[in-house]
Every structure is written in structure tokens, then in C-alpha cells.
């Protein structure tokens, strides 16, 4: 639903969007107040179309500079969560700003806002701009004709005013962000693909036990390099990274290559599926040996029949690497779709940048 | 001249219906997306005899339990039960595939 809402033009700047699902923050990419709610609140919204909520504090994450080739919104997200922790933005509404954010497509912005809640944020949001308007224009439920012009004028006024004060400010440099992979069972347990797994002595005491347990569950050893870790299967899809641009990024790596391991590609919606097929992306995936299936949450949630078997290691473009998320005993490594594609080609965790020569 | 505002403040003010003494706000919801997991909430309002307040702003999507293969004949009974429940709660089937609406607005999906 976090793919379909925007795709249908239901998600518009300035609106409030609720859903009984954590990753509702996705819609914030449009300058929307969007957050997940619990079952009791869902009933409240059904009955009253209103929701009780305490206003969170404001936090701005500014990412200046530009991302290198093979580095995406997923890496910005996993990067800041690894740096600040899963409670790094606790109780805050995160607004993303800066040149690297303005340079992201709507797909990338949705990925970033989607993952905001994994860093503890209540909302993730990005001010609407020309990129936003170009995405929305002409969609089924988008304003049309004169209403469109009025809407765009209103939406331009939603951005934070010059000089507005935030309760917290974080500044990141896009050029320092590398393709990032999770190694543990929490999204904050993430590192650049070029890194080695932390030794017990590198970890703050408060997080040491969690890290030890995570390494044990994941079947990994402290100090080993991430790159080269043998992977059993791959998954590309989900509301985090199941959009057309995600599939294009994966296909760019897989084109003309064979996957060494099995894998599943599930587009985020029927519309994404149709577009990918029109562009021939499905044939790139199937020629590589991956399965091209229908849309849905698929292997991200482990409740629709698509599962990772016990003890198997999956390179996955999804949002949560909790124990058992993709199936009992499943070992999940979160990464961008391009990085998943690289893992498919080599059968190991791999720096996708080495497979992009002549392709970007 | 008023103080510069963050986007959060602007959006919050635009949706705030009232604020309780303890500082918690009641906010207007423009779009409510529901899925298979929303069945507890539907059961709760049914129990109290309440209708869906704004069906035109409520959109149902099957995603969590949507099988990615063999969708025309779902073998797993737990999965098909979850999907059927959402269909019943959404009111009516709009077409043969997984497209439902809650009294009024159709949301195409999957």
C-alpha cells in the first residue's frame, strides 16, 4: 500500500496519511504527515477519521554533496541509522534536507522516509518540490486542471521557512556514504560493505550483548570482512525497495550476467510489474536465473508463503532484519537493490561498485 | 511578522482539531489505508455498532498476505481467510483481481 498510495495520486503534499503499518512514514516523501498506528488507533480512525497524537520534536537531517555511483537512498538510511542508532531519532519527526536529498527521485525519497522509523523517528518527511510535482501530475487521484495550479502553489508553501528552528540538527556528507549492509538483527547493526565486523572491544558495553547474540544468530564471526560472506539466496522487492527505479538499478547489475544463487524478484505493485515488463526488466531477471513473481509484501514479512528457510542467508532489499522476520531462523542482510543484485552475481556479499564498470 | 515555522509545524497546525490539557492533539486524517491486519479494528467498531466514518477517505489494499504465485487459487486457508476478511470489511469486490474499495472509492492494487 505504500507503493500504491503514491502511485495512484492518493498521497499528496500537505495531507495526513495513517495506516496500521510501521512503514507508513514512506508517504512523508511528499511533504505529508504520515505515520503508522496501532489496532486501537485504526479503530478510532475508522470510527471518527481522527487520531490522537502528541506532537513530536523536530529534527533535520541534512545531507550535502552528491552520492557516488552505486550508492542510493537505502545507503543514506542505513548509514544514518547505523550512526545514530535505532533510537537515534526517538520521539522526533525527521525532515530530510540538503543537496543530496533534493537530488533524489521520488522513489529514492520514499525509500529514505520508509526507513526513518527504523531509526526511531515518528515521521520522515521531505519538502515537496518540482520533482514531487512532476511525479504526482496526471495520476488518478491527483488534482486536475485549475485545481492542479492552485494545489502546486499551496504545496510550495509547505517547506520549512528560512531560519526555522529544529530541536535537533544532523549534518551528513553524501560523498562519505558507501554501499551499506546490515550484519546483525537490528537495522542499526549496519556497516559499509568495505568494513569488517566489529570486535567485542569495538562495541559500547550497552550494545555488546546484543551484538554478540546477533553475530551468533547470523552465523558470523567478529572481525571477519563483510565482503565475501557466502549468501544462499536473494530477494528484491517490498515497500522499501520494490519500485521501478529499484528494479532498474538491480537489472543494471544483472544484465547479461547469471545469478550464482536462487532468488525472488517481487515488484511493489501491479503497476510496477507492468512497467518493468514493458521495459524488459523481467527478462533480465529471469535470464539471470531469478524468479519473477507477482507483487505484494512477499518475502519481506514471511506471512504470504514466501519464506527464507531456517539458517539460510538472504541478501534482501527490505526494511527489517529482526530474528525470524523472513521466516524462522532466517538470516537477513538488508541492502540496496543494486547490492542485492551484486550478491546474486557473486553468491557473496559484494561491493556493487566493482560490478558497475561501463554500466553507469 | 510571525516566527519562521518548520514543515512539521505547518502540517500539524493544519490538521489539529483540538488539543487536550495533557498536550495530546486530535488530528484530522485525510487518507486512511487499511490492509489485512486491520481486521481487529473493523471487529472493534462492529462490536460497538459504529460505521466507517469516512468511507471515501478509506482505502483497502491487500499486500501483507498476498501470495506472489498461484493467486487465482490460494491453497493456504489461513492466507485466504485473511484476504476474505478484508474483502468483507471493505464492503464489496470491484473486480476479479485483488481490487477492493470501501463503499465508494476504488483502489486498484496488486
What ipTM, to 2 d.p.? 0.92
- Which of A75-84, A211-220, A280-289, B57-66 is the least confident region? B57-66
Record: contact B33-A159, CB cut-off 8 A:
no
Q: How far does the CA of residue B29 sit from the closest CA of chain A (Å)?
A: 5
Nearest chain A residue (CA) to B13: A55
Is residue B84 within 8 Å of residue B92, measured between CB atoms?
no
Asked if the C-beta of A269 comes within 8 angstroms of chain B's C-beta atoms, the answer is yes
- A113/A17 same-domain check: yes
Where does a domain end: A158, A175, A192? Answer: A175
Q: How far does the CA of residue A257 sit from the closest CA of chain B (Å)?
A: 25
- Taking one residue from A and the other from B, the number of pairs with CB-CB distance under 8 angstroms is 208
pLDDT at B109 over 70: no
Q: Does residue B8 fall inside a structural domain?
A: no
Nearest chain B residue (CA) to A13: B11
Asked if the C-beta of A161 comes within 8 angstroms of chain B's C-beta atoms, the answer is yes
Q: Which three cell numbers stand for residue B57?
A: 477517505
Three-class SS state of A231: coil
How many distinct structural domains can be found in chain A? 2
Chain B residues in contact with A58 by the CB 8 A cut-off are 6, 8-9
Interface-testing mutation among A305, A306, A319, with chain B (most B C-beta atoms within 10 A)? A305
Q: How far apart are the first and last CA of chain B?
A: 49
pLDDT at A292 over 80: yes
Which residue, among B64, B2, B105, has the nearest Cα to A22 in the 3D structure?
Answer: B64
Three-class SS state of A210: helix
- A105/A224 same-domain check: no
Q: Which three cell numbers stand for residue A206?
A: 550497552
Please state, in angstroms and rounded to a whole number, the distance separating the CA atoms of residues A36 and A24: 5
Q: How far does the CA of residue A170 sit from the closest CA of chain B (Å)?
A: 16
Of B25, B27, B33, the CB nearest to A1: B33
Asked if the C-beta of A158 comes within 8 angstroms of chain B's C-beta atoms, the answer is yes
Q: Does residue A54 fall inside a structural domain?
A: yes
pLDDT for residue A155: 96
pLDDT for residue B16: 96
Q: How far does the CA of residue B58 sit from the closest CA of chain A (Å)?
A: 8
- A37/A153 same-domain check: yes
- Residue A348's domain is classified under what CATH number? 3.30.499.10
Task: Please state whether A199 falls in left (phi above 0), alpha (psi between -120 and 50) or beta.
Answer: beta
Three-class SS state of A241: helix
Q: Which three cell numbers stand for residue A41?
A: 488507533
Which residue, among A329, A111, A115, A341, has the nearest Cα to A234 in the 3D structure?
Answer: A341
pLDDT for residue B72: 67
**Phi then psi for A268, rounded to 5 degrees?**
-70, -20
The whole-number average pLDDT for the span A295-308 is: 82
Interface-testing mutation among A8, A24, A32, A45, with chain B (most B C-beta atoms within 10 A)? A45
pLDDT at A99 over 60: yes
Of B6, B14, B97, the CB nearest to A160: B6
Q: Does residue A84 fall inside a structural domain?
A: yes
- A163/A254 same-domain check: no
Where does a domain end: A150, A175, A200? Answer: A175
How many distinct structural domains can be found in chain B? 1
Q: Does residue B44 fall inside a structural domain?
A: yes
Record: contact A296-B61, CB cut-off 8 A:
no
Nearest chain A residue (CA) to B6: A160
Of B24, B45, B54, the CB nearest to A49: B54
Higher pLDDT, A304 or A46: A46
Is residue A226 within 8 Å of residue A154, measured between CB atoms?
no
pLDDT at A157 over 80: yes
Q: Does residue B94 fall inside a structural domain?
A: yes
The whole-number average pLDDT for the span B17-38 is: 92
Is residue A59 within 8 Å of residue A94, measured between CB atoms?
yes
pLDDT at B87 over 80: no
In B1-110, alpha helices (H): 7-15, 39-47, 77-90
- A74/A165 same-domain check: yes
Q: Does residue B19 fall inside a structural domain?
A: no
Nearest chain A residue (CA) to B15: A16
Q: Does residue A133 fall inside a structural domain?
A: yes
Q: Which three cell numbers stand for residue A4?
A: 500504491
Higher pLDDT, A292 or B51: A292
Q: Does residue B51 fall inside a structural domain?
A: yes
Residues whose CB falls within 8 Å of the CB of residue A245, separated by 6 or more in sequence, listed in order: A105, A107, A108
Q: Which three cell numbers stand for residue A224?
A: 571477519
Q: Does residue A185 fall inside a structural domain?
A: no
Nearest chain B residue (CA) to A40: B41
Asked if the C-beta of A203 comes within 8 angstroms of chain B's C-beta atoms, the answer is no
User: CA of A148: how far to CAs of A137, A143, A144, A154, A327, in Å?
Assistant: 8, 5, 5, 10, 45
Three-class SS state of A268: coil
- A332/A217 same-domain check: yes
- Its sign, for the CA torsion B96, B102, B108, B110, is negative
- A166/A216 same-domain check: no
Q: Does residue B71 fall inside a structural domain?
A: yes
**Cβ count near A52 (within 10 Å):** 14
- A73/A157 same-domain check: yes
Q: Does residue A186 fall inside a structural domain?
A: no
Q: What is the DSSP letter of A318?
A: S
- A217/A147 same-domain check: no
Q: What is the DSSP letter of A165?
A: -
- A161/A235 same-domain check: no
Chain B residues in contact with A17 by the CB 8 A cut-off are 29-33
Is residue A19 within 8 Å of residue A46, measured between CB atoms?
no
pLDDT at B30 over 70: yes
Q: How far does the CA of residue A126 sit from the closest CA of chain B (Å)?
A: 9
Q: Does residue B4 fall inside a structural domain?
A: no
Asked if the C-beta of A307 comes within 8 angstroms of chain B's C-beta atoms, the answer is no
Q: What residues make up the domain containing A57?
A: 4-175
In DSSP terms, B16 is beta-bridged to: B27
- A115/A38 same-domain check: yes
Chain B residues in contact with A166 by the CB 8 A cut-off are 6
Q: Which three cell numbers stand for residue A234?
A: 536473494
Q: Does residue B16 fall inside a structural domain?
A: no
Asked if the C-beta of A116 comes within 8 angstroms of chain B's C-beta atoms, the answer is no
Q: Which helix (H) or strand (E) holds A62?
A: strand A57-64
Please state, in angstroms and rounded to a whole number, the distance separating the CA atoms of residues A335 and A74: 7
User: CA of A90: how far to CAs of A58, A121, A131, A263, B32, in Å?
Assistant: 11, 5, 29, 35, 24
Q: Which three cell numbers stand for residue A153?
A: 502553489
Is residue A353 within 8 Å of residue A231, measured between CB atoms?
no
Asked if the C-beta of A47 comes within 8 angstroms of chain B's C-beta atoms, the answer is yes
For chain A positions 224-263, those within 8 Å of chain B (CB to CB) are 239
Of B25, B35, B51, the CB nearest to A21: B35
pLDDT at A287 over 70: yes
Please state, in angstroms and rounded to a whole number, the distance separating the CA atoms of residues A76 and A65: 12
Q: What residues make up the domain containing B75?
A: 29-107
Record: contact A50-B29, CB cut-off 8 A:
yes
Mean pLDDT rounded to a whole number for chain A:
94
Q: How many residues does chain B have?
A: 110
Amino acid at each position: 500500500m505504500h507503493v500504491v498510495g503514491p502511485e495512484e495520486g492518493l498521497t499528496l503534499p500537505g495531507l495526513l496519511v495513517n495506516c496500521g503499518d510501521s512503514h507508513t512514514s514512506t508517504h512523508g516523501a511528499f511533504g505529508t504527515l504520515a505515520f503508522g498506528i496501532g489496532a486501537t488507533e485504526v479503530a478510532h480512525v475508522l470510527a471518527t477519521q481522527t487520531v490522537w497524537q502528541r506532537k513530536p520534536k523536530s529534527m533535520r537531517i541534512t545531507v550535502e554533496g552528491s552520492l557516488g555511483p552505486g550508492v542510493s537512498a537505502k545507503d543514506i538510511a542505513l548509514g544514518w541509522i547505523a550512526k545514530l542508532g535505532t533510537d537515534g531519532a526517538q520521539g522526533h519527526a525527521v525532515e530530510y534536507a540538503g543537496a543530496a536529498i533534493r537530488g533524489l527521485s521520488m522513489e529514492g525519497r520514499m525509500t529514505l522516509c520508509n526507513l526513518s522509523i527504523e531509526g526511531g523517528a515518528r515521521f520522515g518527511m521531505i519538502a515537496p518540490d518540482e520533482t514531487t510535482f512532476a511525479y504526482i501530475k496526471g495520476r488518478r487521484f491527483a488534482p486536475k486542471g485549475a485545481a492542479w495550479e492552485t494545489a502546486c502553489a499551496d504545496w510550495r508553501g509547505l517547506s520549512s521557512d528560512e531560519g526555522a528552528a529544529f530541536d535537533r540538527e544532523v549534518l551528513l556528507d553524501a560523498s562519505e556514504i558507501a554501499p551499506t549492509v546490515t550484519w546483525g538483527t537490528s537495522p542499526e547493526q549496519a556497516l559499509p560493505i568495505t568494513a569488517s565486523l566489529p570486535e567485542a572491544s569495538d562495541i559500547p558495553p550497552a550494545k555488546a550483548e546484543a551484538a554478540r547474540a546477533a553475530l551468533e544468530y547470523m552465523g558470523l564471526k567478529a572481525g571477519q570482512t563483510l565482503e565475501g560472506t557466502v549468501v544462499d539466496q536473494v530477494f528484491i522487492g517490498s515497500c522499501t525497495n520494490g519500485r521501478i527505479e529499484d528494479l532498474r538499478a538491480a537489472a543494471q547489475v544483472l544484465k547479461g550476467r547469471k545469478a550464482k544463487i536462487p532468488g525472488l524478484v517481487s515488484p511493489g505493485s501491479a503497476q510496477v510489474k507492468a512497467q518493468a515488463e514493458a521495459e524488459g526488466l523481467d527478462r533480465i531477471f529471469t535470464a539471470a536465473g531469478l524468479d519473477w513473481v507477482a507483487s505484494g509484501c512477499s518475502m519481506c514479512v514471511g506471512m504470504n508463503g514466501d519464506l527464507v528457510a531456517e539458517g539460510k542467508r538472504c541478501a534482501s532489499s527490505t526494511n527489517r532484519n529482526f530474528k525470524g522476520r523472513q521466516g524462522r531462523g532466517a538470516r537477513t542482510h538488508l541492502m540496496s537493490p543494486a547490492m542485492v543484485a551484486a550478491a546474486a552475481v557473486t553468491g557473496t556479499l559484494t561491493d556493487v561498485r566493482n560490478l558497475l564498470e561501463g554500466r553507469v | 511578522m510571525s516566527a519562521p515555522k518548520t514543515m512539521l509545524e505547518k502540517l500539524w497546525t493544519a490538521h489539529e482539531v483540538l488539543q487536550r490539557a495533557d498536550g495530546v492533539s486530535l488530528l484530522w486524517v485525510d487518507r486512511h489505508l487499511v490492509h489485512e491486519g486491520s481486521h481487529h479494528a473493523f471487529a472493534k467498531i462492529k462490536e460497538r455498532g459504529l460505521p466507517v466514518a469516512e468511507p471515501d477517505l478509506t482505502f483497502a489494499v491487500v499486500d501483507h498476505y498476498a501470495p506472489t504465485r498461484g493467486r487465482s487459487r490460494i491453497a493456504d486457508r489461513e492466507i485466504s481467510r485473511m484476504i476474505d476478511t478484508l474483502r468483507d470489511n471493505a464492503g464489496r469486490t470491484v473486480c476479479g483481481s485483488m481490487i477492493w474499495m470501501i463503499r465508494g472509492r476504488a483502489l486498484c492494487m496488486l
